[in-house]
Chains A and B, each alone.
Chain A
Amino acid sequence: MQHQSYSVDHLHHLESEAIFILRETAAQFHNPVILFSGGKDSIVVARLAQKAFWPAKLPFPLVHIDTGHNFAETIEFRDMLVKKLNADLKVGSVQESIDKGRAVEEKGINASRNMLQTVTLLDTLENLKIDAAIGGARRDEEKARAKERFFSHRDEFGQWDPKNQRPELWNLFNGRKNMGEHFRVFPLSNWTEMDVWQYIKREELDLPTIYFSHERDVIIRNGVHLAVTDFITVQPDEKVQKKTVRFRTVGDATCTGAVESVASTLDHIIAEVAAARQTERGTRADDKRSETAMEDRKKEGYF
């Protein structure tokens, strides 16, 4: 008799774990949402949520924090996916926060709306009475994230206290909280960038086109390739060049850098990631502001 093999492939393991977390979130909270950026990680989270509750539709809406500085492709993609999933979409607008005087636009050439997102995010969570915001962040992205929990507790000001996190043991997740507090939930905690790409390939997921190689006008600022868009001001000493690039993350167009790449298919990208010598956040100007930039932003309530 052949002996049954119960070994489980690592992607299957990660998928089952993430589905478990999503179901726990639905069960333990009153009003969870998925924070959807249109980036590959949140696309994977949306897929996992679809699997977790199938054949029912998602028991929670997608929330997009719109900086107003988007690549057009991302928004198109977002709307298409929402339709396909038959999901609800809610948008929190940074422009609106600025117009209402809740946030002040940064000045100077490196001005970005990335910091302002935090204000809009926290306002949106409060307005919609959200008690759990599910995000696609991974622990391998950045050193401050390595200690993040699956269920990450935030105080009534939305702040993260790295010294006061609840220990997480076995499969037991404690989502109990007091009035006004909320949780951030990270189902992809244990995934690496490579896992995400392999999963996208396995599931044949669609992605916004900016992830694949294309020609684009860029400038090089602080070592980062920035796309020339309506949202940045090219300085006199900066040279606009046409380059063959792609993006490794999707964020605010003013601070998300492109990498030179000819990778035009998922297989090319996976090969590139396997050989890559730069972390994906290495292309983000917002993390380069200081060595602890991410940690400081997280404490204030940033994703």
Chain B
Amino acid sequence: MDLLRFTTAGSVDDGKSTLIGRLMFDTKTIFEDQLEAIEESSRKKGDENINLALLTDGLKAEREQGITIDVAYRYFATPKRKFIIADTPGHIQYTRNMVTGASTANLAIILIDARKGVLEQTSRHAFIASLLRLQHVVICVNKMDLVDYDEKIFDEIVDDFTNFASRLDIADVTFIPISALHGDNVVDRSDNMPWYKGSSLLYHLEHVHIGPDTNHVDSRFPVQWVIRPQSDKYHDFRGYAGRIASGVFKPGDDVNILPSGFSTKIKKIHSLDGELSEAFYPHSVALTLEDEIDISRGDMIVKSQNQPNVGQDIDLMICWFSDKTKLQPRNKYIVKHTSKEVKAIVTEVCYKVNINTLHKIENDTTFELNEIGRIKLRVSSPLFYDSYTRNRNTGSVILIDEFTNETVAAGMIR
């Protein structure tokens, strides 16, 4: 069984929580005691029907205010696939949550209320999906029951979105007309919309091809930890532990160690379950090398004939996450990239993006919460990186505030 991770976005009240509740309910992920608990809560709130949306409302503060305020993760499985949902709220102020949810997802579901059509928020969500390089976007046109399951309304929304999305870079967009409340086209094809010839949402999620999301070409192995057993049996063992970021490694491969540049060969790929004949993302393994070379955490093992960029001047798109501080030129941060941490200074703010219109904002160099734009950093020692477009694992960074230790920005290297 393989794994699909997706994120959900929509404006408030588009029916996101209802849809997730529906998926979990119809795939029998909801247990009796959970159902009883939400029936009880629904009754207390005076709701007539049991409110499936309550299932995804995690924390007390949110229940009290009736809103979702953070990213929450949900799980369900069908005989075909295991699914992880990053459930992120659609409020205007929560761009950062969608960025967070999208960073680990293969696919985004964007909800549109059939009565309202494509809104400013919809464009924003689509922009974030494209910025984070989600390969697949599913546009669920929800509440079709409230527009008499009208094909014309659906078609108009498809046209509208397609026009807008032509300015973005999204490989695969699928449109599905649904009613989350009544279940139309969620798990099974709906009889109410015979004009719709595509598959149901769940069928699509079960069958969408997730292979191309991973880079199997550029072999990169950031060293996380050095294994040196203090035992007689493994006295000379020196294993480099880590998770393959991309590409494929095999024993005998010619490799280089960065930053030293030394070349050697992979001797063996170890795991408790025995030696492996190859390893690729997302495997966590330990490598041993033919030659004794001084290697530590933060170094990278790469194949000799295919090397990453090495540099100290980094050009990147960022999303600013902090509501306490702002980013400005000359500010200093800690950059975390693969298994490496370095210091950095902001050398230039190139522009910010108005994420509703996609226009550049050129002469404002201060980033506030949820703002997205392009900056340049100078880092204290070289990073070994690829562009985010090519390689998510070696093209992504986070910025950390030196004083509060908070994660203040997400960055995608250009």
Mark A residues whose CB is within 8 Å of B. Answer: 6-10, 12-17, 19-20, 23-24, 26-27, 50-57, 139-140, 143-144, 146-147, 162-163, 165-172, 174, 176-178, 189-190, 192, 194-195, 276-279, 282, 291-292, 295-296
Contacts and interface: CB of A to CB of B under 8 A. Distances in A.
Contacts of B339: 27
Interface stretch (B134-142, B180-188, B354-362, B391-399): B391-399
B398 A172 contact: yes
B195 interface: no
A207 to B, nearest CB: 19
Contact of B73 (A52, A146, A163, A174): A146
Contact of B58 (A8, A147, A190): A147
B282 A17 contact: yes
A292 B60 contact: yes
Contacts of A279: 31, 33-34
A20 B289 CA distance: 20
A23 B225 contact: yes
Top-10 shortest CB links A-B: A19-B284, A56-B229, A282-B33, A176-B405, A169-B103, A16-B284, A54-B272, A146-B72, A277-B32, A10-B3
Nearest to A13: B3
A27 B396 contact: no
A146 B393 contact: no
Contact of A192 (B75, B227, B230): B75
Nearest to A15: B284
A56 B103 contact: no
9 contacts: A55-B237, A143-B58, A143-B59, A166-B406, A167-B321, A170-B393, A172-B396, A176-B400, A278-B32
Contacts of A277: 31-32
B407 A10 contact: no
A7 B337 CA distance: 26
Interface string B231-271: 10110010101110000100000000000000000000011
Nearest to B99: A169
Contact of B234 (A55, A147, A178): A55
Nearest to B321: A167
B231 A55 contact: yes
B326 interface: no
Nearest to B242: A23
B2 interface: yes
A176 B297 contact: no
A295 B60 CA distance: 8
Contact of A16 (B34, B100, B231, B243): B243
A20 B31 contact: no
Given A20-B284, A23-B241, A7 B2 contact: yes
A16 B75 contact: no
B243 A194 contact: no
A50 B272 CA distance: 8
Contacts of A13: 2-3, 282
Nearest to A59: B225
B42 interface: no
A20 B224 contact: yes
Contacts of B82: 10, 192, 195
A24 B224 contact: yes
B96 to A, nearest CB: 6
Interface of B: 1-3, 31-34, 37, 41, 57-61, 63, 69-75, 77, 81-82, 84, 96-97, 99-100, 103-104, 211, 214, 216, 224-225, 227-231, 233-234, 237, 239, 241-243, 248, 270-273, 280-284, 286, 297, 321, 334, 336-339, 392-393, 396-398, 400, 405-407, 410
Contacts of B237: 55
A167 B97 CA distance: 8
Given A55-B227, A147-B59, A278-B32, A170 B396 contact: yes
Contacts of B283: 8, 12, 16
B211 A9 contact: no
Classify the interface of chain B: helix, strand, loop or mixed: mixed
Contacts of A178: 405
A167 B100 contact: yes
Contacts of A57: 229-231
Given A14-B3, A192-B75, 14 more contacts: A6-B281, A7-B2, A23-B242, A24-B224, A51-B272, A54-B270, A55-B227, A55-B234, A56-B231, A146-B58, A162-B61, A169-B100, A278-B33, A291-B41
Contacts of B270: 54-55
A41 to B, nearest CB: 15
A93 B347 CA distance: 54
Given A7-B211, A194-B77, A174 B405 contact: yes
B297 A27 contact: yes
B278 to A, nearest CB: 9
B271 A52 contact: no
A194 B224 CA distance: 29
Contacts of B72: 139, 146-147
A276 B243 CA distance: 35
Contacts of A282: 31-33
Contacts of A140: 74-75
Contacts of B3: 8, 10, 13-14
Contacts of A10: 1-3, 81-82
A195 B76 CA distance: 11
B104 A170 contact: yes
Contacts of A16: 243, 282-284
A139 B75 contact: yes
B361 to A, nearest CB: 24
B282 A163 contact: no
A171 B71 contact: no
A276 B334 contact: no
B31 A167 contact: no
A278 B282 CA distance: 33
Given A51-B272, A52-B241, A9 B2 contact: yes
Contacts of A17: 282, 284
Nearest to B103: A169
B121 to A, nearest CB: 20
A147 B63 CA distance: 14
